[in-house]
Amino acid sequence: MEQLIQELRSFLDAEVPRFREKWGADADSWEARCAWQRTMAGGKWSAPAWSEEHSDRGTCLATLASDDVHGARTTVSDDAAGGRLSGAKTHSLDAHMADVLLVRGERVQLFAVDPRAEGVELRPLTVLDRTRKQFRVELTDARGQLLDEDFGAGLSLTLYVAAVLACAELLGAAGRCLETAVEYALDREQFGRPIGGSQAVKHLLADCLVAVDQMRTADGGAEEITESVVSARGRDGADLAEVASVVKGHCSKAAPGTAETLVQVLGGIGFTWEHPAHLYLRRAKILEVLYGNATGHRARLARALELVPA
């Protein structure tokens, strides 16, 4: 997590000066931020109707609601403000904290929806990781403002960037699991000797070390490509799509395996609520399937490289 925060800070340190240089004294206004987002994404962004409310705060938290619910496809009826949306989206992260819901409509349209508006209902989902809430978003003739008519390329690029960021978080979790396991193996004694002296435990920790080092190498390469694609402000993310599938396909297996090894090395205490091991395992298991699991990314990569029929 610390590594991810550092990467985000580095990105902001690089982007914010350019943003302020371009917009000057208006850099803190909502309209200027939306214009900057439009420049970054290459889309047709505009300020939502409730922009004045958020411009006073200087911040706006948005979350993506793009996953359709089977049998509840989102439909859009036009009105003067942009559209009226009905349907349901699922697995929307931290929707209860969001100021804006970015909802995918028909024909890959993108709408900004106020989560507190009439016709919007947030239903919490029961998920493995209780520290990261997910919601089902129910829309019943909810008012939305059209941001982009064709957000297909932008949505794909967004999900690939999100997959890379998820891998960075998986790396942080796996690294901490390895550190905890090593510390415990050196401290815990059985029959007068540290359990880390056991050949079986050594093999487990050595395998985790290799997995974490491979994740770190993969994430480092993905970070460079992600930065180059985002900074270019382009919609062509072919390189990013390939590298995102490579790192997500690997990290989605390596990180949960490292968390499981931590529980195994800890023994009985690893199965208790009092020890944080289960928190790392739960987070790794959620990130394993978030933005595509290993099987899906490997299949997509095989099709892209023409290793199997499309």
Q: What is the pLDDT of residues 22-72, one digit of tens each?
A: 444 444 443 444 443 433 333 333 334 444 455 455 567 889 888 888 888
Confidence of residue 265 (pLDDT cuts 50, 70, 90): very high
189-219 per-position pLDDT tens digit: 888 899 888 999 999 999 999 999 999 988 8
Q: Which of 99-113, 120-134, 270-284 has the lowest mean pLDDT?
A: 99-113
Distance CA 140, CA 244 (A): 35
pLDDT at 2: 56
Residue 97 has pLDDT above 80, yes or no: yes
What CA–CA distance (Å, rounded) separates 288 from 253? 7
Residues 6+ apart with CB under 8 A from 106: 74, 75, 76
Residue 100 has pLDDT above 50, yes or no: yes
pLDDT at 108: 81
295 pLDDT higher than 80: yes
Distance CA 248, CA 87 (A): 30
Q: Three-state SS string across the chain, please?
A: CHHHHHHHHHHHHHHHHHHHHHHHHHHHCHHHHHHHHHHHHCCCCCCCCCHHHHHCCCCCCEEEECEECCCCCCEEECCCCCEEEEEEEEEEECHHHCCEEEEECHHHCEEEECCCCCCEEEEECCCCCCCCCEEEEEEEEEEEEEEECCCHHHHHHHHHHHHHHHHHHHHHHHHHHHHHHHHHHHHCEECCEEHHHCHHHHHHHHHHHHHHHHHHHHHHHHHHHHHHHHHCCCCCCHHHHHHHHHHHHHHHHHHHHHHHHHHHHHHHHHHCCCCCHHHHHHHHHHHHHCCCCHHHHHHHHHHHCCCCCC
Structure confidence at residue 51 (pLDDT): 46
Percent of the chain predicted with pLDDT > 70:
76
pLDDT top residue among 10 and 262: 262
The predicted structure's pLDDT at residue 82:
67
- Is the pLDDT at 245 greater than 50? The verdict is yes
Average pLDDT, the chain: 80
Global confidence as pTM: 0.75
The per-residue pLDDT for 205 is 95
